[in-house]
Structure 1
Amino acid sequence: MSSKLITVFGATGAQGSSVLQSLQANTNKSFALRGITRNQHSDSAQKLSASGIEMVQADGWDKDSLIAAFKGSWGVFVNTNSDDAVFENPEEKRTEVDLGKIIVDAAVEAGVEVLVYSGFNSAKEITGGKVPVAAFDDKNAIWKYARATRAFQSVVAASPGWYFENFLVQDLAPIFGGFPFVPSEDGNFVFRVPRWGGKEDIPFISIADDFGDIVHGIFLGPEKWNGKLVQGVSDIRSFDEAVKAFEKVTGKKARFEEVPNWQDLDIYGIRALETIKRMFGFTQESGGRYYGDETEAETAAQLKKNAAEACGKGGDETHLATLEAFFEREFAAAS
């Protein structure tokens, strides 16, 4: 039986590379893999190519190049970047929705059967218009557009939560109180953000450890997930519990402090952080429901297990990552 070709748009990004890595480890060799990049000569593209993944060059704004890149693909994974440099230009009139529609139309014309999109439910719809979040709302519009074409056998949204990897970005630490890199005057590592809302059950996700496996699991049986949003979740914790997990495995004193009003979170004019700021307003208004529904990890856990087993793994390797394991790996050694 010939392998089904899966093409990844955004192959060199965190999500795309995680998806390719998981699919490539499938021991049944069920899938052939292709990655799309705007620059085949970049280090990340060269690395993927060296690993045996077919890399092709295409631009999301160039429909013809995308049709050629998608040609022969059974499935496609797509992540559009809300923070792409093109959107930083104040004179730019094109939107993420425009980009998404071009990609979807190209996939339709190329005859793709399964589309897995890194999408969201609409913050604007969930909050009755009170707290729109452009990135969430635009990605939701793209997902709806893909479903409305009725051209795919399966259209699925794989929706990532709060990245574990955000804690590795040192430039973000001062904005969020210093945690986990810059201690406060009393020696504690302080994580200072607005509250989440509801039960304070934040859906944390390890992109490197779990997201690719979750998407892999979807591709193993996409018809089951057609039209559904799959919650990309590794570990559900409050911010206070996340900080305590860090404290437990590193031995470093840490605490969570609440910013009383989400509008007061200072993002220093950084456009990319506007999404995070408004996300707090959205989750407070929605009662903590980041996905619009009750946050759960059971679906992600089963998809992770299915994918890990397809890669020949067993035991703990089939389980979702935990914050303790992440903090121990990334920070305990430096304690």
Structure 2
Amino acid sequence: MATKQVISVVGATGSQGGGLVRAILDDPDGPFRVRALTRSAQSASARELAAAGAEVVEADLEDGRSLLAAFEGAHGAFVVTNYWAPQSAEDEARRTRADRELAQIETAARAAKQAGVEHVVWSTLEDTRDHFGSDDRVPTVDQRYKVPHFDAKAEGDEVFRQHGVPTTFLRTTLFFENFTGTLAPRRGDDGALALTFPMADQRLSSIAVADIGKTARHLFARGEQFVGETVSIAGDHLTGDQYAAALSAALGESVVYRPVSWDDFRAQGFPGAVEMGNMFQYYAENSAHFVGDRELSRVRELNPELQSFGDWLALHRNDFHID
């Protein structure tokens, strides 16, 4: 039997990395074995991965030596960074979240190059400034960005290119899972369940997080065909009314879509409200282009198991906790 190739997975206990770990473990006859990177091999989630057959190693995007060791001998590496990860007060005082993310991308790219990784799949996003330019209607965040958790990742693309790392740039989108959390239907004063996000009547792309990992596994399997390529993915493209209708059917109770303006959303004052308002404005104003780059038939050709929003809802009805 041929020796299986090692895929090192950053963020193995998180959403995207965890999806790839499970996709590899669920394919025991496939060409890969998984090396799950985590900051703590003793965490409950890391121990679960080890019990399921993953090689679990400790590594941190803030520690280049640990990352280099975790990439050594690997054929491929999946790299994902988290702009929203908690930040200490000391770290926050010396650098923005975007600067932290860019430093982590630099560390990952350098380690992949030094380790001789043959194929990196980098989870990235578009640069919203290509659309907004210097538009004064859209506040600047983190000194030079419009949507930092998009724009810094887009800047990170060039880091992999500069280091000469053979990379597939996997552009993701909003997770279906957000509809059980930050975008969950809320009951209003009138007793009705409502979705209240600022998309006007435009289509919003989204995807099941597990399908990001499954698509990444297929990209590794296709190898050189996708090195240097940008692959943009989604599982569905729906308007607010269509999301509400799908949720109504799944929850057995009417859900209505009540769009708000971008300015009203930004004015809500919760941490990240301005950035998230900017993000929705980008999604809405750039919907035709963003959706067009994520042609579902092409995504499904890569990942035949791709779930629609309705498919996902049928499996996750019990994840909703509506008062």
Q: Shared fold by TM > 0.5?
A: yes
In structure 1, distance between residues paired with 2:213 and 2:283: 25
TM normalised by structure 2 equals 0.87
Residue 37 of structure 1 contacts residue 59 of structure 1 at CA under 8 Å; is this kept in 2? Answer: yes
Query: How many equivalent residue pairs?
Result: 307
Alignment RMSD: 2.3
Compared CA separation, residues 330 and 48, structure 1 to 2 (3 A): same
Shift in Å at residue 39 of structure 1?
A: 1.0
Residue 62 of structure 2 contacts residue 107 of structure 2 at CA under 8 Å; is this kept in 1? Answer: yes
1:21-32 equivalences under 5 Å are 21-32=22-33
Which residue number in structure 2 is paired with residue 61 of structure 1? 62
Q: Give a deviation string over 1:192-243, Cα, whole Å, max 9, x none.
A: 111267xx221110113x2211111111113222222222211111111011
Instruction: Find out whether 1:113 has 2:93 as its counterpart.
Output: no
Shift in Å at residue 303 of structure 1?
A: 1.2
Q: Give a deviation string over 1:239-285, Cα, whole Å, max 9, x none.
A: 110110111233201110111x2121057544345442211122234
- Give the 3-state SS of the residue equivalent to 2:35 in structure 1: strand
1:1-335 equivalences under 5 Å are 1-86=2-87, 89-93=91-95, 94-130=99-135, 131=138, 132-152=146-166, 155-169=167-181, 172=182, 179-180=184-185, 182-195=186-199, 200-208=202-210, 210-259=211-260, 261-266=261-266, 268-290=268-290, 294-305=293-304, 318=305, 320-331=306-317
Compared CA separation, residues 71 and 294, structure 1 to 2 (3 A): closer
Residue 120 of structure 2 contacts residue 165 of structure 2 at CA under 8 Å; is this kept in 1? Answer: no
- Give the 3-state SS of the residue equivalent to 2:74 in structure 1: coil
In structure 1, distance between residues paired with 2:109 and 2:200: 33
Residue 74 of structure 2 contacts residue 117 of structure 2 at CA under 8 Å; is this kept in 1? Answer: yes
Amino acid at match of 2:65: D
Compared CA separation, residues 333 and 13, structure 1 to 2 (3 A): closer
TM normalised by structure 1 equals 0.84
Residue 125 of structure 2 contacts residue 151 of structure 2 at CA under 8 Å; is this kept in 1? Answer: yes
In structure 2, distance between residues paired with 1:54 and 1:289: 40
In structure 1, distance between residues paired with 2:71 and 2:319: 43
Unaligned 5+ runs, structure 2: 139-145
In structure 2, distance between residues paired with 1:275 and 1:288: 21
Residue 15 of structure 1 contacts residue 211 of structure 1 at CA under 8 Å; is this kept in 2? Answer: yes
Unaligned 5+ runs, structure 1: 306-317
Higher mean alpha-carbon deviation, 129-138 vs 48-57, is at 129-138
In structure 2, distance between residues paired with 1:193 and 1:215: 29
Which residue number in structure 1 is paired with residue 142 of structure 2? none
Compared CA separation, residues 296 and 46, structure 1 to 2 (3 A): same
Higher mean alpha-carbon deviation, 75-84 vs 24-33, is at 24-33
Higher mean alpha-carbon deviation, 273-282 vs 7-16, is at 273-282
- Give the 3-state SS of the residue equivalent to 1:265 in structure 2: helix
Residue 25 of structure 2 contacts residue 52 of structure 2 at CA under 8 Å; is this kept in 1? Answer: no
In structure 1, distance between residues paired with 2:154 and 2:243: 28
Shift in Å at residue 106 of structure 1?
A: 0.8
Which residue number in structure 1 is paired with residue 141 of structure 2? none
